[in-house]
Amino acid sequence: HGEPIEDVEIQAALRRRVVESVRSDEPPFVPVLCGSAFKNKGVQPLLDAVVDYLPSPDDVPSITGLDPRKSEEFVVERPADDDAPFSALAFKIMTDPFVGQLTFIRVYSGVMKSGESVYNPVRGRSERIGRLLKMHANKREEIKQVYAGDIAAAVGLKSVSTGDTICDQQHPVVLESMEFPSPVVSLAIEPKTESDQEKLGVGLTKLTIEDPTFLVQTDDQTGQVVISGMGELHLEIIVDRLQREFGVAASVGRPEVAYRETLTHPAEREGRYVKQTG
């Protein structure tokens, strides 16, 4: 009726529409913001929009997974409740020069304390949580426990990979893992000096653990080490990290192709076999 709409009303309507789309089979309603991380433009409004518009763990339906103890697919639910059995998903692996491997987890249900053992149903192994860290932009805070809906980094999980589930061993569940696209660009890589050969192998191994879209393989025909990623920029960052974090100066180039001879068209030829006796 010609009355101005308050900003709070607009935010509430957008949030309500986003939450409703998550709870239904309709295509999700996603607010779109513009910005540039490289130029640090629009980053703060994006973070504010995450808080203002996106659903909290209480707003979305319970996460579902499969019971690994059942021979057939048996779906179990894990509500976002501290009293429910513990379940979490490892969504990122990072190598830290001071504490070793950091496993970033998103807790879907239950509570996990530092020093407790958790079960990895994907690998069939139990491991002890050494420390729990709440990660900030430029610092980290050590915490004693995490609750449903929390995101934290765990120290001490050596066998956990990106996409693995960790849970209570008495109530195992396998949550839906993430699917990663196949690499599209490949480059040959070699150390600039002989002394860097071993460090190159160590660095590439740690980077493949961190990044599921980064692959390393050795060409059996040419003997070259070939790295593959999602684009040229992706591989440039990998090479830069090798030098900054692992002290490896490496050269990259196009992979060699092993050419082979083959038949190009059919041909006929007659021959005579003479067997001499006596």
> For 164-197, how does the pLDDT look when each residue is reduced to its tens digit (9 = 90+)?
999 999 999 999 888 888 999 999 999 888 888 8
* CATH 3.30.70.870 residue window(s) in the chain: 185-253
| The pair of three-digit structure tokens given for residue 229, joined into one six-digit string | 């990623």
Share of the chain above pLDDT 70, in %: 99
Mention the CATH class of domain 63-175.
mainly beta
Helix (H, G, I), strand (E, B) or coil at 75: strand
247 φψ region: left (φ > 0), alpha (ψ -120 to 50), beta (else): left
Mean predicted confidence (pLDDT) in 109-116: 92
Share of the chain above pLDDT 90, in %: 42
Note the pTM of the prediction, 2 decimals. 0.75
Q: pLDDT averaged over the chain?
A: 88
As a residue count, the chain comes to 278
For position 278, what pLDDT does the model report?
60
Helix (H, G, I), strand (E, B) or coil at 226: strand
d(CA 40, CA 97): 27
d(CA 90, CA 57): 17
* CATH 2.40.30.10 residue window(s) in the chain: 63-175
Identity of the amino acid at 44? Q
Looking at 3.30.70.870, 1.10.1140.10, 3.30.420.40, 3.40.50.620, the CATH number of the domain 185-253 comes to: 3.30.70.870
Answer yes or no: is pLDDT of 64 > 70.
yes
